[in-house]
Structure 1
Amino acid sequence: MEFPVQVALARPVPTLPTGPGWWYEIKPDGHRTVMWRTADAVRLQSRSGQDVTASWTDLALAGMDLPRGVVLDGQAVVAVDGRFSLEAAQSHTASAPPGVGAATQAHPARFLVWDVLALPGTDMRDHPYEERRLAMLEVLEGLPSPSRIRAVPASDDPDVAQAWYDSLQDAGVECVVAKQAASTYQAGCSSSWRKIQHTQTFDAEVLGYTGPAQRPRALAVRLPDGRAVLSQTLATPLAGQVGACVATPRGCAYGRTDAGETYTVTMPGLVVEVLAETVRHTGFTVTRLR
């Protein structure tokens, strides 16, 4: 398995699937992260494949306790006052390495794991979910206690899953994910993984930005209906995170949204999450970098 890996994604659905063979997990608000324990270090990647080790040095240090060759998939989270906070996680990733230390002291990060992609010498992606789950728990049981690396709760009881969905939104739980027990780990979106979330979002390709490249003020994106539109002003932590990933072509090129706003064109491939209900208004909300 080579770094980075393309992650598996859950398909949004309006209600939880039920019936034989379904397992359910919570997905706390935070940043999708894959943790690689290499021969001599730990590397962390984002959902989009970016190396984010420098932003989560505290988690990388905790990952040194894993056996060499283990690759884990999960969520990097930061809790504030007992609630998973996306804003705190974004502040963590937007900090330069010295700032990461300060952020860690104020609100320690944790890595909540829901899958194992590799064990020493073994690619686990073709193994069924139930087998991967057991293998993942065995790996985590071998870590010293307490550890920043923990398993997300899982259950095969749909009533428990519905109770999670109904009661944990205020605790910062983004959604509940349902996975078929026999499902393998498939890159991209698959019908064998489904999610029901409180706030509907979609992914949009970034076309460009306004303001300085290092800290854009707003983003121009292509919506699913084909429109090119400009976002609302980015939150400060998110602007820093996006700025670290913006790549502009040689020579300064400009584009225009459907409403005529000018933006600086960026290289293709950058994707952000957008709140679905905000696209009907003037300006939409970008919640995170994918």
Structure 2
Amino acid sequence: MPPRQATRHATTRTLTHSDHVEYPVRPALAQAVPAIPDGPDWWYEPKFDGHRTILRRTEDTVILYARSGRVVTSHWMDLAVAAMQLPPGTTLDGEAVIWKNGKVDFGAAQSRAASTITRARALAAQHPASYATWDILEHPHHGQTTGLPYTERRAILLDLLHDIPPPIQAVPATDDRDVAVAWYDGLQEQGIEGIVCKKGTASYPAGRRGWTKVRHADTEDALVVGYLGPRRRPHRLALAIGDEGGPIRLSARLDPVLAGRIAEVLTAAEVLGERRADGETYTRVDGYLTVEVLAGSGRHGTLTVTRMR
């Protein structure tokens, strides 16, 4: 039996005008699990390896936000221009990705995000970005949609994007676990890093780990909240595993090449003074940079950073 796809026919349910989205949005997050869940009401989407981006179409312009809430429109101006085709009052959740040689190239997206605005525009001319969207948070007629079930939001999203051409496209979705497993096993070479799993009846879990994810890489996300050493060549990082607010841990010494890339982003971060963690003093920064660390690497020692997100 072919997988059931969420219908494109939008629900007629509307929300009151008192409902509104607060910006910057606190995006929904996903909890890593070892296997793709099975059972009723599960829906599955491919996990694209790019930069999490909230896209907001206002009356006059388009604003793009990073996961941290930082405005990143200037770095993804090609997506902002394309999104002017969306009706005002639309807010989408998705991933800014760059395709190179037939696959999603995370390094290219990272280079764009970490570059100067002038350099970002040059990179956009060489390798234009795409916006892989999986959720709609605000709709010009339905108002705020975050309280609706996933399947209703999905239907509204597909209806909205029906006449919108690339580079803005909805990610595939299915409620057939066998299809999700096939995606997981067969799409890694195209840069799909795993599967995100969502309950069809669930609302949008803003700021919470209400989704689950299965990834090929055995890593965890960590928020950079500080650094040790020179700002232009940090030795180690102060990290909050998962979400900010958890205990701060210090990383192992950074690879020199990775340290240089991280330094490019840290130069734009606001310094918030000094703090202590693990018995050492670090420079606290306004955290919006996310890195990956080896899963479990902090249990018996310092955290090993593998790459920026």
TM tier, smaller: 0.7 to 0.9
**Paired residue type of 2:155:** L
Would you say the 8 A contact 2:45–2:173 is kept in 1?
A: yes
Q: Does 1:96 align with 2:116?
A: yes
Aligned to 2:53: 33
Aligned to 1:168: 187
Aligned to 1:137: 158
**Paired residue type of 2:254:** Q
More displaced stretch, 4-13 vs 216-225: 216-225
Aligned to 1:110: 130
Would you say the 8 A contact 1:210–1:216 is kept in 2?
A: no
- In the TM superposition, residue 140 of structure 1 has moved relative to its aligned partner by 1.1
Separation in structure 1 between the aligned mates of residue 78 and residue 156 of structure 2, nearest angstrom: 24
Separation in structure 1 between the aligned mates of residue 200 and residue 283 of structure 2, nearest angstrom: 44
Separation in structure 2 between the aligned mates of residue 187 and residue 85 of structure 1, nearest angstrom: 27
Aligned to 1:239: 263
Q: Does 1:229 align with 2:255?
A: no
Aligned to 1:217: 234
Residue 201 (structure 1) aligned to one of 219, 227, 242: 219
Q: Does 1:128 align with 2:186?
A: no
Would you say the 8 A contact 2:194–2:213 is kept in 1?
A: yes
- TM-score (structure 1 length as normaliser): 0.86
Q: Encode CA deviations 1:226-245: one digit per residue, 9 max, x unaligned.
A: 6433441325444323332x
Q: Encode CA deviations 1:100-127: one digit per residue, 9 max, x unaligned.
A: 2221122111000000101015100011
- In the TM superposition, residue 171 of structure 1 has moved relative to its aligned partner by 1.4
Separation in structure 1 between the aligned mates of residue 236 and residue 81 of structure 2, nearest angstrom: 34
Aligned to 1:154: 173
Q: In structure 1, list runs of 5 or more residues that go unmatched.
A: none
Relative distance call for 1:278 and 1:102 in structure 2 (3 A) is: farther
Would you say the 8 A contact 1:8–1:189 is kept in 2?
A: yes
More displaced stretch, 39-48 vs 90-99: 90-99
SS, match of residue 183 in structure 1: coil
- In the TM superposition, residue 199 of structure 1 has moved relative to its aligned partner by 1.2
Q: Encode CA deviations 1:50-89: one digit per residue, 9 max, x unaligned.
A: 1111111111111111000000000000111111111100
Separation in structure 1 between the aligned mates of residue 92 and residue 248 of structure 2, nearest angstrom: 36
Relative distance call for 1:216 and 1:189 in structure 2 (3 A) is: farther
- TM-score (structure 2 length as normaliser): 0.81
Relative distance call for 1:39 and 1:176 in structure 2 (3 A) is: same
- In the TM superposition, residue 41 of structure 1 has moved relative to its aligned partner by 0.4
Separation in structure 2 between the aligned mates of residue 269 and residue 241 of structure 1, nearest angstrom: 11
- In the TM superposition, residue 20 of structure 1 has moved relative to its aligned partner by 1.7
Relative distance call for 1:236 and 1:220 in structure 2 (3 A) is: closer
**Paired residue type of 1:166:** D
Q: In structure 2, list runs of 5 or more residues that go unmatched.
A: 1-20, 242-246
Q: Encode CA deviations 1:3-60: one digit per residue, 9 max, x unaligned.
A: 2110111221111111221111001100000100011000001111111111111111
Separation in structure 1 between the aligned mates of residue 188 and residue 137 of structure 2, nearest angstrom: 28
Q: Percent identity?
A: 39
**Paired residue type of 1:249:** L
**Paired residue type of 1:14:** P
Would you say the 8 A contact 2:37–2:197 is kept in 1?
A: yes
SS, match of residue 249 in structure 1: strand
Separation in structure 1 between the aligned mates of residue 302 and residue 189 of structure 2, nearest angstrom: 28
Separation in structure 1 between the aligned mates of residue 302 and residue 272 of structure 2, nearest angstrom: 29
Q: How does 1:247-266 map to 2 (within 5 A)?
A: 247-249=270-272, 253=274, 264-266=282-284
Would you say the 8 A contact 2:252–2:305 is kept in 1?
A: no
SS, match of residue 85 in structure 2: coil
